Amino acid sequence: MWKSNTIFNHFKSTLNFSLLSSRRFASTIAQNPSTFNSIPHANQVIDFPGGTVKFIPEMRFISESSQERIPCYRVLDDDGQPLANNFVQVSEDVAVRMYNNMVTLQIMDTIFYEVQRQGRISFYATTIGEEAINIASAAALTMDDVIFPQYREPGPLLWRGFTLQEIANQCFSNKYDNGKGRQMPIHYGSNKHNYFTVASTVATQIPHAVGAAYSIKMDKKDACSITYFGDGGSSEGDFHAALNFAAVMEAPVIFLCRNNGWAISTPTSDQFRSDGVVVKGQAYGVCSIRVDGNDALAIYSAVQAAREMAINEERPVLIEALTYRVGHHSTSDDSTKYRPTNEIEWWRLARDPVARFRKWIERNGWWNDMAESELRNSLRQELLHSIQVAENLEKPPIADIFNDVYDVPPSSLREQEQWVKDTVKNHPLDYPENISA
Amino acid sequence: MATLFHGVGAALTPFSASNKLLLPSPKSESRGAIFLHRSDARVNHAFNLKPATPNQDLFIPNAVATKRETSTKSGHELLLFEALREGLEEEMERDPRVCVMGEDVGHYGGSYKVTKGLAEKYGDLRVLDTPIAENSFTGMGIGAAMTGLRPIVEGMNMGFLLLAFNQISNNCGMLHYTSGGQFTIPIVIRGPGGVGRQLGAEHSQRLESYFQSIPGIQMVACSTPYNAKGLMKAAIRSENPVILFEHVLLYNLKERIPDEEYVLSLEEAEMVRPGEHVTILTYSRMRYHVMQAAKTLVNKGYDPEVIDIRSLKPFDLYTIGCSVKKTHRVLIVEECMRTGGIGASLTAAITENFHDYLDAPIVCLSSQDVPTPYAGTLEEWTVVQPAQIVTAVEQLCQ
């Protein structure tokens, strides 16, 4: 009895108790209208880290989702007709060039997929359905902007002048490959084109882009960095920390999420429960926009605006491009196993970004059927020729196994290299012949 | 890797004088024939090297780092963490691309005060406080390095870099290779590790054993203020990604170091005490336990040769080999755990290369394969103590 009294007295004297008592006091006051105005609890605020926060007596939970989904910006409708006149105008040259590159990407993907099926390359992943995101975003950037791709973005490389022969060389891992035969097909990289080598690891490139933006900011260059990733990639920890960093550091970086509905066989409903990726921007203090990923003009406008914001206002921007992965995840996947064929076909035909853009440029008088067949034929020829050349070139030399691990190989690696060379020399029949010296 | 710099006390005046005259320009490449004295005593003529910035790569005639004669100036005394800071500051002064990122490195000055005062001097963009996301700020450092900066990423404790393992192994180590040599990653990753004083298991990790397999990175461990500063500078100037291992308990070591500028070689071991009877290989904090044991051993009539291997990846097999050929007995003393530690790899490397010169099997003293306990007495027993080193030498020399 005595003990509980002491405890009660102790409790009475603590801050908690006095807070409790003042709240009780406030609620009793509320019942008394004449004294209501003397305690302006509606105006009580406090300075927490980050700014003033208003207090409210109601317990309000923020809903996990808003009533309406964030709307999606588009310029052209499904039929290629502009919805309004307020979009960034694109000249005939740029538009035709964009279209050419989109078709190139489409044909390149179709043919290389077949080449893999024929067993001539080991692996390939197509970008079918996402040509607008690939090409239009690159068209809105300059050559000084550095690109950190995931692996479904060869478009910017094509736009920047990477040739089909170079693509073929990389896929066949021959001695003219930029990467010296060290990476899987489609893992392109070219410092000349400011396009950083693709790594298979998901989302690791996102913090790299932030680091590059930091470097650009320090150098005060008129440039930004851009990184691409998918809906699946946005689940990785690196995505979240990178957005957070970019906001804190005020780094000029564009985060472009290709929300194509699928991460291999995982649909977005199993990937996250938020309204897509665009709402995550605000959580980190990054401004964001949702764009129709199959509308080349919308992507072009959005990326151009984002680039200006990023560079002039020194802030990151998140763009979520809604699209659909028409192809399989890669040649190791058969997506008909986990999604209906008619869904795939509908997106392939009715929502093809290339066809949609074609309608717009044809309506402007910048394109026609004859130009189309000429383009497709010549591209096909060029591709088949490049593939043939690439296939017959020698593979990289054994020395390239050991170079570039360090700037200069240490003696241990030189020893290991000699051992391999000796083995190949002594057992020539066990090793392929088309290795250059 | 060619060894460009060799630690020397006295003969550095031409180096430091000319360095003050010229400003480094970020992307110039001066390819020139440089005479290179390697630690294995070969001289490479006309070895074309691409230095990071022009003209600082004058060669130094003496190869070995150990005998540093104190110059005519007496040098200055400082603690190991101050030596690290001095090296870092000199490099930041010299090259505007050098920057630091990590948790609390900015105005707080770093948890171990290695970056104290740098944010005030260079601004909080060059000395960047990061949010708590090790994998991501290491990734950021890699991206910054690929675009031309020379970042130093600080892990508040080496153990936290386990979170950065993905970026370190898959990107830091690999991107130079997989890009076909197009992108270099001249990043330095550093932090304190090792068993401290009752820091608990998670803060007493020896990451060198986990990282040693990653191709493409170099690992060095400092143990004295002199080699801490030299290795820090060498790591920053290196084009390869370097992981610099510091030890929590060595930060307050005091030593007199030269006033002149010096840079040590990343691939060289340090001869601490020449001897005849047995080669004791060690690094970081265990060097001090070994030297303590050495005192006892000398009184008992033994003559141990103590080598601080410093370069954990790759091993300086030349220095080690010369020593083995002389003494024919090897004792490795490390703080890593028995399984898969640096000692295990070193044992394999020495056995493979110098088997014929060994009179006895290599003995490796390491910590047990247990998480480090918190209780002081238990913690002490998980680390190799001088008494155990003395016993091991006595057994080895029978």
Which of B138, B180, B218 is closest, CB to CB, to A177?
A: B180
Q: Write down the catalytic residue from B6, B103, B176, B203.
A: B203
Q: What does the block give as tokens for A372?
A: 């189309």
> What is d(CA B131, CA A237) in angstroms, rounded to the nearest whole number?
13
pLDDT digits (tens, 9 = 90+) for A161-215: 999 999 999 999 999 999 999 999 999 999 999 999 999 999 999 999 999 999 9
pLDDT at A235: 94
User: Which DSSP helix (H) or strand (E) runs through A255?
Assistant: strand A253-259
Which residues does chain A have within 8 Å of residue B141's beta carbon, measured at their own beta carbons? 211
Q: Write down the catalytic residue from A13, A21, A65, A114.
A: A114
Q: Is the pLDDT of residue A296 over 50?
A: yes
pLDDT at B146: 96
Which residues does chain A have within 8 Å of residue B238's beta carbon, measured at their own beta carbons? 407
Least confident among A13-22, A114-123, B26-35, B109-118 = B26-35
Q: Is the pLDDT of residue B69 over 60?
A: no
Query: How high does pLDDT run on average in chain B?
Result: 85
Judge whether B182 and A190 are in contact, CB under 8 Å: yes
Inter-chain touch B240–A210, beta carbons under 8 Å: no
Edge-to-edge order in the sheet of strand A317-322: A146-148, A225-230, A253-259, A317-322, A287-292
Inter-chain touch B182–A182, beta carbons under 8 Å: no
**Helices then strands, each counted (H, E), chain B:** 13, 16
Judge whether A247 and A282 are in contact, CB under 8 Å: no
DSSP class of residue B171 equals I
Nearest CA in chain A to B142: A208
Closest CA to B221 of B248, B261, B186, B182: B248
Residue positions counted in chain B: 398
Which residues does chain B have within 8 Å of residue A406's beta carbon, measured at their own beta carbons? 1, 216, 218, 240
Nearest CA in chain B to A216: B147
Cα torsion through A135, A136, A139, A141, rounded to 10 = -110
Query: How high does pLDDT run on average in chain A?
Result: 90
- On the CB side of A320, CA atoms within 13 Å amount to 25
> What is d(CA A327, CA B100) in angstroms, rounded to the nearest whole number?
43
Is A200 one of the annotated active-site residues of the chain? yes
Inter-chain touch A183–B99, beta carbons under 8 Å: no
* Cβ neighbours for A343, distance < 8 A, ≥ 6 positions apart: none
Inter-chain touch A406–B218, beta carbons under 8 Å: yes
Least confident among B23-27, B174-178, B332-336 = B23-27
Average the pLDDT over A122-127 and give the result. Answer: 96
Q: Is residue B28 classed exposed, middle or buried when 0-12, 13-18 and 19+ CB atoms within 10 A define those classes?
A: exposed
Least confident among A140-144, A155-159, A310-314, B55-59 = B55-59
Average the pLDDT over B32-37 and give the result. Answer: 38
Judge whether B309 and B282 are in contact, CB under 8 Å: yes
Q: Is residue A376 classed exposed, middle or buried when 0-12, 13-18 and 19+ CB atoms within 10 A define those classes?
A: middle
Inter-chain touch B147–A408, beta carbons under 8 Å: no
Closest CA to B142 of A150, A429, A255, A205: A205
The beta strand positions in chain B, using DSSP E, are 32-37, 43-49, 76-79, 98-102, 127-129, 150-154, 188-193, 218-221, 242-247, 254-257, 270-273, 278-282, 304-308, 311-313, 330-337, 363-367
Whether a cis peptide bond, with omega within 30° of 0, leads into B314 is yes
Inter-chain touch A208–B148, beta carbons under 8 Å: no
pLDDT digits (tens, 9 = 90+) for B168-221: 999 999 999 999 999 999 999 999 999 999 998 999 999 999 999 999 999 999
Nearest CA in chain A to B149: A215
pLDDT at A40: 62
Edge-to-edge order in the sheet of strand B98-102: B127-129, B98-102, B150-154, B188-193, B242-247, B218-221, B311-313
Inter-chain touch B180–A178, beta carbons under 8 Å: yes
* pLDDT class of A106 with cuts at 50, 70, 90: very high
Which residues does chain A have within 8 Å of residue B105's beta carbon, measured at their own beta carbons? none
Which residues does chain B have within 8 Å of residue A209's beta carbon, measured at their own beta carbons? 143
Largest CA distance in chain A: 104
Q: Which residues pair with B332 in a beta bridge?
A: B281, B364
Inter-chain touch A199–B178, beta carbons under 8 Å: yes
- Check CB contact of B218 with chain A, cutoff 8 Å: yes
pLDDT at A48: 82
**Min distance B132 CA to chain A CA atoms (Å):** 8
Which of B140, B170, B176 is closest, CB to CB, to A214?
A: B140
Which of A177, A180, A208 is closest, CB to CB, to B143?
A: A208
Q: Is the pLDDT of residue B12 over 70?
A: no
- For A:381-420, CB contacts with B below 8 A are 403-412
Nearest CA in chain A to B241: A406
Which of B1, B133, B148 is closest, CB to CB, to A215?
A: B148
Percent of chain A scoring above 70 in pLDDT: 90
Nearest CA in chain B to A250: B125
pLDDT digits (tens, 9 = 90+) for B352-381: 999 999 999 999 999 999 999 999 999 999
Q: What does the block give as tokens for A93?
A: 């040259």
pLDDT at A141: 97
For β-strands B150-154 and B127-129, DSSP reports them as: unpaired
- Check CB contact of B301 with chain A, cutoff 8 Å: no
Inter-chain touch B176–A244, beta carbons under 8 Å: no
Inter-chain touch B139–A206, beta carbons under 8 Å: yes
* Pick among B44, B140, B214 to test the A interface (most A CBs inside 10 A): B140
pLDDT digits (tens, 9 = 90+) for A254-273: 999 999 999 999 999 999 99
Inter-chain touch A199–B146, beta carbons under 8 Å: no
pLDDT at A437: 59
Helices (H), A118-195: 131-139, 155-159, 164-172
Phi first, then psi: what are they for A254, rounded to 5°?
A: -110, 125
Which of B175, B181, B267 is closest, CB to CB, to A199?
A: B175
Inter-chain touch B146–A190, beta carbons under 8 Å: no
pLDDT at A195: 97
* pLDDT class of A86 with cuts at 50, 70, 90: confident
**Min distance B144 CA to chain A CA atoms (Å):** 4
> What is d(CA B352, CA A347) in angstroms, rounded to the nearest whole number?
61
pTM score:
0.82
Q: Is the pLDDT of residue B389 over 90?
A: yes
Which residues does chain A have within 8 Å of residue B172's beta carbon, measured at their own beta carbons? none
Which of B99, B146, B178 is closest, CB to CB, to A182?
A: B178
> What is d(CA B234, CA B327) in angstroms, rounded to the nearest whole number?
31
A126/B10: higher pLDDT: A126
DSSP string, B227-272: HHHHHHHHHHH-SS-EEEEEEGGGTT-EEEE-SS-----TT--EEE
Inter-chain touch A189–B151, beta carbons under 8 Å: no
Percent of chain A scoring above 90 in pLDDT: 81
- Check CB contact of A187 with chain B, cutoff 8 Å: yes
Is B352 one of the annotated active-site residues of the chain? no
Which residues does chain B have within 8 Å of residue A219's beta carbon, measured at their own beta carbons? 148
Nearest CA in chain B to A224: B147
The beta strand positions in B259-373, using DSSP E, are 270-273, 278-282, 304-308, 311-313, 330-337, 363-367
Is B203 one of the annotated active-site residues of the chain? yes
DSSP string, B85-101: HHHHHHHHHH-TTEEEE
Inter-chain touch A207–B135, beta carbons under 8 Å: yes
> What is d(CA B181, CA B161) in angstroms, rounded to the nearest whole number?
26
Q: Which residues pair with B308 in a beta bridge?
A: B270, B282
- For B:311-370, CB contacts with A below 8 A are 314, 317
B55/B351: higher pLDDT: B351
> What is d(CA A289, CA A310) in angstroms, rounded to the nearest whole number?
14
Closest CA to B12 of B73, B98, B79: B73
Which of A197, A208, A244 is closest, CB to CB, to B139?
A: A208
> What is d(CA B264, CA B248) in angstroms, rounded to the nearest whole number?
22
Is A329 one of the annotated active-site residues of the chain? yes
